[in-house]
Amino acid sequence: MKVALVSEYYYPLLGGITEHVHNLAVFLGRRGHDVTVVTHNLKPRKHHHYPSELVDFPIVRFGKGMPIYSNGSIAHITVGKGLSGSMRRFFQQERFDVIHAHSPLTPTLPVLALRASNAPVTVGTFHTYFDRSRSYSLVQKKAAAHMNMMDGKIVVSQACVDALSRYFETDYRVIPNGVDPGYFSPDAPVLPEFDDGKLNILFVGRFDPRNGLRTMIDAFKIVKRQFGNCRLIVVGDGPLRPYYRSMVGKKLAADVHFAGLINGGRPNYYASADVYCTPCTKASFGVVLLEAMSSATPIVASDINGYRLVMDDDREGILVPEQDPAAFAEALLRLLKDPELRQRMGRAGREKVLSTFSWELVAARIEQLYLELLGENASAGMPDPDPEKVIVLND
């Protein structure tokens, strides 16, 4: 099959949707399909990175990416003259079998892809959970028309179904996010600067308020009063960095390491961590949970819908009330003081990833949906994956 993956989120932007689109392109390619990523132009800036490896699929860029504030985070849209016509001509020239838009009701490129699609099958994947949407309320009729342009609607979790069902009555296929267990592995080398006998608590995320770094720092202050032999490693960046640094204070500065944006080296950070902690307040799924689980790192996470659908409380980690530093500190201390519990939860997370969330399995399910929608026999004409064709994010 010839497949176009259309997304406002792709490198140089980092984040869950970027990772999803990239890995879907990689693993569909391994299964023998011809994949093109369609996204915007965005020059690398202080908080943006390109993937450091060379990909072996085309990346076609339209217009110019522009950041906006939306849903408690920094979102991106594409601007530029003639975008609709340019995309339509591109699709007419390439003649894709499947055009797959990510966050398909989000301006600009995904919506334009739905309108311009000339492919036999058009698919959309919804990645985001939201409580209520004023935008959908205002343009519900028009958004419903765009829904009807899609032959298949994928959601990454039941939480997305719950959010969307408030506005649209339609059928959804739940296919979760995935992770590459060969890349995020407990066998990844430990970073020597963190291999000094101290126990390491890891936070990974953009410096958006909803990702909960404030709660993380407040919880760490409590932890340090009862368990001195630990540090906090913060992977991520953003305009709020000075604010979060000021929260740490001079007394804790030596034990809070701000690593900045890390792209290809993330497996080493998970391998170096004794506990992964995410006090996020809003998530549809939680790719970072999969990365930690795949790395056999136990988790302390907010007890929110998107996370409950990925991990089981007291199995792969501990779920605690959101925005409660004392509860996070209690859960962290429980794990820091119990190495056997950390090992048990780490093993359980790795086992769940291998059985349910590996990208090989997830890509196969998306491929199956494509074939169903194309009316082909799903058991025929499916090439075997090429084990020699490996793409990873390197340092």
pLDDT band (50, 70, 90) for residue 378? very low
pLDDT at 19 over 70: yes
C-alpha gyration radius of the chain: 21
Nearest Cα neighbor of 236 from 213, 267, 218 is 213
User: Which class does domain 192-354 fall in?
Assistant: alpha beta
DSSP assignment of 9-20: --TTS-SHHHHH
> 381-386: long-range contacts (C-beta < 8 A, 24 or more apart)?
382/31, 383/31, 383/32, 384/31, 384/32, 385/27, 385/30, 385/31, 385/360, 386/30, 386/32
pLDDT at 384 over 70: no
Give the pLDDT of residue 75.
Answer: 73
pLDDT band (50, 70, 90) for residue 379? very low
pLDDT at 377 over 70: no
Integer Cα distance of 22 and 154 in angstroms: 17
pLDDT at 308 over 50: yes
Domain boundaries, the chain: 2-178+358-374, 192-354
Of 170 and 385, the structure prediction assigns the larger pLDDT to 170
Integer Cα distance of 260 and 232 in angstroms: 13
Give the pLDDT of residue 43.
Answer: 65
Give the pLDDT of residue 390.
Answer: 31
pLDDT band (50, 70, 90) for residue 13? confident
Integer Cα distance of 369 and 123 in angstroms: 9
Give residues with Cβ within 8 angstroms of 255, minimum separation 6. 198, 224, 230, 231, 232
User: Which class does domain 2-178+358-374 fall in?
Assistant: alpha beta
* Residue range 227-249: mean pLDDT, rounded: 95
Cβ(367)–Cβ(33) below 8 Å: yes
How is residue 336 written in tokens? 């820091």
**Residues 330-357 pLDDT 10s:** 999 999 999 999 999 999 999 999 999 9
Give the pLDDT of residue 230.
Answer: 98
Residue keyed to tokens 């605690």 = 320
Of 69 and 120, the structure prediction assigns the larger pLDDT to 120
pLDDT at 46 over 60: no
Cβ(186)–Cβ(202) below 8 Å: no
Cβ(102)–Cβ(13) below 8 Å: no
For the entire predicted model, the pTM comes to: 0.85
Q: What average pLDDT does the chain have?
A: 89
pLDDT band (50, 70, 90) for residue 283? confident
Do 2-178+358-374 and 192-354 share a fold?
yes
Q: 3-state DSSP call for residue 23?
A: helix
Q: Is the dihedral of CA 201, 207, 211, 212 positive or negative?
A: positive
* Residue range 361-382: mean pLDDT, rounded: 80
pLDDT at 394 over 80: no
